[in-house]
Structure formats: C-alpha cells, structure tokens
C-alpha cells in the first residue's frame, strides 16, 4: 500500500469517536482534496439592506426611548452618587467573564479537532463576539463558525453546531438563574403596567421568564435524544420531511448530522470542563452585575441582582440595532422596575444602565483588538 493510502486508512481508523462527517474530512485532507466548500462565502453586499434596516431600527429605538421618557444619557446629577472606585473591580470581573465565555469554546471543538489551537480559537471567539455585538439584527451569529472554518480544521456546519450547543446551554443557565432568583426575591406588588410613558408591562416579565426555561429545556432534551438515538432520529426526520420532498429530506438529514457533531461535547471528559467554565462564567457575570449595582447606589440584594442579570440577558436575544442598542436599555430599565419605583429607576439609578452599556461597548471593541492580535500571532506561529 502506498504512503498516501496508509494515511487515508489511518485517518479513517483513528476517528471512531468522531462522526462519519469528521472522518470523511480527515480522509479528504489526507488525499489532498479541497474542503473549501465547507466554508461559507464571506458576507458582502447582501448585508447592506440588513445594515440599513438595523440602523433604521436603532433610530426607532432612540425615538421610542425619548418618547417614553427613558433616558439614553441621564442628567449629570445621576452620577453624583456613583462610587467610581468600584468600577475597577467591575471592569476586571467583566474581563474575566469575557475570557471564560470565549475560552470554553475550545472544549466544544477539541472532540472535532484534537490539535486545534486554543490561541486561535480564543482569537476567533473574541472577534466573533464583537461582530455579533455590532452586526445588524444578530446576523453576526455566523461570524464565529465562519472565522473558524477558514482554518480548515473544522467545517462551518460543525463549528455552527458548537455555537448552537453553546447558545442552548447558556439559555438553560440564564433562564434557570432568572426563575430561581425570581422565586426568592421580592418584586413590587403590584407590578407596574408601564415603563415611563411606554405601555410595556413590567408585570408580564415573570410569566415570560417562567416560559423560557421549558423552551430551552426541550432544546437540551432534543440534543440528548439526537445524540443518543442518532440512527432512529435521522430515520424519523427523513420520514417526516420525506412527506414533502425526499431530496430535501436527504439534504436536511446531512446538515443536521454535521451540526450534531458538536454534541461530542456530551462526552464526559469535555463536558465537565465546559460546564465548569460555564458555571464560573455566569457566577462572574452575576458578581460583576451586583458590583455595578452597588457602585451606582442601587440597593439590590443578591437575588435582585440575579434577576436583573437574567432580564437584561434575555433582552439581548431581541433583534435590535447595532450594539443591542435599544433592547439593552429597555431590558435594563424593565428589570430595575421590577423592584424599584419609577422616579429612581429613570432618575439617579439610570446611571446603572448607562455605565453598564458603555462598558459593554468599550470592552467589546477592546476584546476584538486582542482577538485580531491573537489570530495574527496564531497564523504567524
């Protein structure tokens, strides 16, 4: 057997714990075949209409916030009670949270590419999160898998599968934090049916929170079921979609199979590390949120701080303008309005919302610079 043939055989034999798609990729690389078709084309002119719509939406949020009396930038008096020295630990905690959130991606990718560079993943993750933050209408969600797929170590759909897995697990964690903290906190009674002059019901937030946990829980069960009963799940999916189109069913099953490669996370050795860092990440984010509340003079306890973190986190899921502008402010003011009266929420304690948002923007820009530097150093190495 030729050396090239031996490499092909070895690549296939060494992939029993990786899906058939991953094994096929190894074989293709060994044969020298191009895998560029697994990498999507970079976004281009197609984003221009979405960007225009996103900027229009941001302008609409500015109008809504001003019309509703929700301060985008409060009066200087709102900052007189700020304990500025507490912003130092707040920023440090935010940086630690960013590092934990980004680095844990390595544990999802290692089952798919055992030798993937942690430095390269960290760089792509930091840049990708920045694109998610600033891109219009959450179109930046494809950025991380696209950046990673350019390395030719993991296919785009496999990388996208890890992102989907990450989002679902974070959704479960955040909704669980929100539901548990609501149960032990003391919201206003009755809750207001408005925020400022906007007819946005604060009273609807607890019901919405309780509804999100089952949704993410079902998503986790689906992931587990697909991984555990892969063949039967594929057959069921093929039969269901085959009622419409057999060809479409085959294509969908292939794409879902590629996405499901990310569920290699569920192996014990990778799951423990990923879940550990996820718990640490959300604890650090809770701590940073509480520190900022104390720094801006908001007398919130641990339970209230956890609820406010949960509501603002869920608010980021709403499509909005660049930088989550508008959705962040609405979610933050609504979260504060669960526990405190409107005059202080929109008055002196509006500093919490403004400082929190400004810090997010600044750290996202800074982390993207660090990410580009890491990616460049990784290529150079």
Check residue 4 and give its pLDDT.
43
Burial readout 300-336 (b: 16 or more C-beta within 10 A, e: otherwise): beebbbbbbbbbbbbbbeeebbbbbbbbbbbbbbbbb
Judge whether residue 271 has pLDDT over 60: yes
pLDDT band at 19 (very low <50, low <70, confident <90, very high): very low
What backbone phi and psi angles, to 5 degrees, belong to 244?
-95, -50
**282, 285, 291, 295: CA torsion to nearest 10:** -150
pLDDT at 26 over 50: no
Pick the closest to residue 258 from 150, 163, 373 (CA basis).
163
Give the chain's mean pLDDT.
82
Question: 173, 104 in Cβ contact below 8 A?
Answer: no
pLDDT at residue 125, as a whole number? 94
pLDDT band per the 50, 70, 90 thresholds, residue 243: confident
Residue 6 reports pLDDT greater than 60: no
- Please tell me the predicted confidence (pLDDT) of residue 334: 93
Q: In this predicted model, which residue has the larger pLDDT, 359 or 207?
A: 359
pLDDT at position 270 is: 78
Q: How confident is the model at residue 14 (pLDDT cuts 50, 70, 90)?
A: very low
Angle between helices 302-315 and 327-337 (to 10 degrees): 150
Alpha-carbon gap, residue 381 to 151, rounded angstroms? 13
Please say if the pLDDT value at position 319 is more than 50: yes
Q: What is the pTM of this model?
A: 0.81
The reported pLDDT for the residue numbered 266 is 56
What is the model's pLDDT at position 35? 39
């Amino acid at each position: 057997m030729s050396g090239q043939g031996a490499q092909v055989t070895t690549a296939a034999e060494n992939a029993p714990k990786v899906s058939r798609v991953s094994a096929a990729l190894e074989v293709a690389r060994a044969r020298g075949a191009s895998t560029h078709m697994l990498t999507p084309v970079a976004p281009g002119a197609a984003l221009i209409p979405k960007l225009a719509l996103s900027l229009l939406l941001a302008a609409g949020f500015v109008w809504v916030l001003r019309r509703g009396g929700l301060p985008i930038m409060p009066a200087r008096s709102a900052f007189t009670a700020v304990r500025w020295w507490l912003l130092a630990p707040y920023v440090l905690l935010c940086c630690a949270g960013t590092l934990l959130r980004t680095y844990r991606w390595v544990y999802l990718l290692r089952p798919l590419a055992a030798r993937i560079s942690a430095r390269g993943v960290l760089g792509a993750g930091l840049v990708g999160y920045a694109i998610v933050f600033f891109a219009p209408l959450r179109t930046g969600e494809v950025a991380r898998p696209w950046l990673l797929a350019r390395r030719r170590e993991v296919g785009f759909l496999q990388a996208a599968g890890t992102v989907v897995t990450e989002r679902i697990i974070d959704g479960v964690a955040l909704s669980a934090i929100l539901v548990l903290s609501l149960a032990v906190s003391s919201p206003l009674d009755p809750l207001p049916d408005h925020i400022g002059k906007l007819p946005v019901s604060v009273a609807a937030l607890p019901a919405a929170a309780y509804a999100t946990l089952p949704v993410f829980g079902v998503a986790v069960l689906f992931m587990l079921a697909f991984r555990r009963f892969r063949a039967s799940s594929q057959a069921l999916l093929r039969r269901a979609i085959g009622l419409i189109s057999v060809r479409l069913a085959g294509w969908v099953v292939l794409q879902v199979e590629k996405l499901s490669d990310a569920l290699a996370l569920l192996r014990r050795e990778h799951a423990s590390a990923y879940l550990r860092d996820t718990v640490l990440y959300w604890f650090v984010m809770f701590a940073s949120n509480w520190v900022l509340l104390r720094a801006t003079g908001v007398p919130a306890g641990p339970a209230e701080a956890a609820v406010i973190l949960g509501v603002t986190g869920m608010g980021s899921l709403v499509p909005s303008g660049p930088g989550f502008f508008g959705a962040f402010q609405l979610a933050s003011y609504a979260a504060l309005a669960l526990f405190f009266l409107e005059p202080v929420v929109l008055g002196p304690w509006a500093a919490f919302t403004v400082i929190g948002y400004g810090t997010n923007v600044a750290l996202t820009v800074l982390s993207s610079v660090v990410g580009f530097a890491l990616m460049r150093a990784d290529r150079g190495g």
